Amino acid sequence: MTALPQITDSHCHLDFPQLSDELPLVIDRALEAGVSRMVTICTRLRNEPAVRAIAEAHAPVFYAAGTHPMSVAEEPMATVDALVALAQHPKFVGIGESGLDYHYTAESAEAQKTSLRLHIAAARQTGLPLIIHARDADDDMARILTEEYRNGAYSCVMHCFSSSADLAKAALDLGFYLSMSGITAFPKSQELRDIFTAAPIDRILVETDSPYLAPPPHRGKRNEPAFVALTAQKAAQTFGMDYAAFAAQTQANFDRLFSKAARFEAAA
C-alpha cells in the first residue's frame, strides 16, 4: 500500500473542549490521515501550562502561546520577558496567536495594537515565527507589521488568511507566509483562492484552526487536525499540483518557518 503524503496542521486548538475530551482519538485520526505534526495554539497565557502538557504528552504535537486579540481586554497584558521565558521549552515553536480583530472587539483596538507590538518584539528576540490573526483590520495590520519589520526583521505566518489581496501583498513583501484554512475549500471562496495562487508556493502553509472552520464535506461541524488533508487536497487542485507534491512543498515550507520544530524532530 502506498504511504499517505505527510502533512502538518500548522494551527489548531487541541486544548479546546470540543477536542480535548477525546484527544488521543483525535491525534490517532490525524496520524491515520497522514497528518504527522500539529501545532496547538494557546490563546490565553494563563492556559499555557495545560497546552504545554498536551505537547509534552504527544510526540506529534508542538505548541505556541500568546494572547489572542479578542482576549486582550480580558487578560493581563503579555510581556516580552514572559513570552521569551516560555519559548525556552523545546516544543514551544511560535509566538501567538496575536494580531488585530476589529470585527467583534474593535473597542479594544488600542490595547490590541500594544499587545501585537509586544508579541512582535518577542518573535524578534526569540527568532520564532509570529502567528497572526487578522480580521477587519487590514490597514492597521499592514502598517504595524511593516513599521515593526523596519525596526528589526522577524518571521511571521498570517494564520487562516482570509483578508484582502493588499494585506496578502504587504505580508508577502516582508517575506511572510500565508496559511490556508478550510475556508479556502468552500465553494464560494474563489476570490480567496485567487489571492493564494498569486503567492509564491514556497510561502504557503495549511491548517485547520480546529475545532473551527471545517472544510467540506464537514462544513458546519467540528473540525479536527485530520481534516487538514481535505483542505490540502483542495489546495493542491487550486495550485494545479499533484497532492503529494503539494504536501511535500508545504512540509518544506513549515520546516523553514518553524525551524525549531524541524530541529526537534531531527534530534529525536
Q: What is the pLDDT of residues 119-163, one digit of tens each?
A: 999 999 999 999 999 999 999 999 999 999 999 999 999 999 999
**CB of 139 within 8 A of CB of 74?**
no
What DSSP element (H or E) covers 95?
strand 92-101
Count of structural domains within the chain? 1
Residue 265 within any structural domain of the chain: no
Residue 68 within any structural domain of the chain: yes
Residue 76 within any structural domain of the chain: yes
- What's CA 80's distance to the chain center, in Å? 20
Residue 113 within any structural domain of the chain: yes
Residue 153 within any structural domain of the chain: yes
Residue 45 within any structural domain of the chain: yes
Q: How does residue 1 score in pLDDT terms, banded at 50, 70 and 90?
A: very low
Distances (CA, A) of 177 to 36, 86, 248: 20, 23, 16
d(CA 13, CA 23): 11
Residue 266 within any structural domain of the chain: no
| pLDDT tens string 169-219 | 999 999 999 999 999 999 999 999 999 999 999 999 999 999 999 999 999
Q: Give me the domain span that covers residue 226.
A: 7-260
Residue 267 within any structural domain of the chain: no
Can you give the CATH number for the domain in which 117 is found?
Answer: 3.20.20.140
| pLDDT tens string 39-96 | 999 999 999 999 999 999 999 999 999 999 999 999 999 999 999 999 999 999 999 9
